[in-house]
Amino acid sequence: MVKNKEMHRFLWLWLPLLAAVIQIFLELSLPVQTLSVLHSESGPHELLQFLIISAALVVFATMLLKIDIKQSPWLGAWVGIATLSCLYVAGEEISWGQHIMDWATPDYWKDMNDQGETNWHNTSSWLDQKPRLILEIGVIIGGLIIPFLMRVKPKALPERFLIIYPAGTLCITAGIFLIMKTIDKADVLGIQFFERGSEVQELYLFYFVLLYCLELRKRLISKDAALKV
């Protein structure tokens, strides 16, 4: 199993657990109106999501600039896709600057965007739901299934891609995400635990990506696998 010997325990264990405890406390203690403000487009929760995924973007981008594409083209493609994905998500989180600069949405774009913002994910259900679904599947596979296979049946996974397999320690963040998503599904039964469950889940999705890119960067540097260090 690929172990994380360098990343501090606080980052992969205590911080996500502490965040979950704080979130549950806020959900149980604050009125709905206050929670709505915290989870609004200009609220602190949305800003925190943007900062986390932006940090991941910076790490991936710096890796991409140093990778020897000729030596390891598949690794360059993997990090390149991750970089573009982070760029897309970060841009969409702030409507490509609208939430910060507060510019007006052109009339022609308002007709296409159901929230009147300068982003893509509100222009169609596909752009809104499918990228998130891909990320959710990736977190579950990378954070839970792959670490499990690495422990019980490592030969089931191609050894060539060993360096990009998520560390087992990321199962904490992936597990919290899955638990919160399961709890949020209880809304279907008329039980609402989170005011905006999808926003809470995104925080853990993005944090998983950040932990993953930090771990990957350390592996590449320590093994001198593809970075020019």
Q: Where are the domains of the chain?
A: 41-223
Q: Could you give the angle at which helices 171-184 and 125-140 cross, rounded to 10 degrees?
A: 130
Q: Is it the case that residue 102 has pLDDT exceeding 60?
A: yes
Instruction: Tell me which DSSP letter residue 104 carries.
Output: P
* End-to-end alpha carbon distance in the chain: 26
Which tokens go with 19? 């965040």
H or E stretch including 161?
none
* pTM over cut 0.95: no
Which tokens go with 95? 């409507």
Poorest-confidence range of 45-54, 159-168, 191-200, 211-220? 191-200
Tell me what pLDDT residue 187 has. Answer: 66
If you average pLDDT over every residue of the chain, what do you get? 91
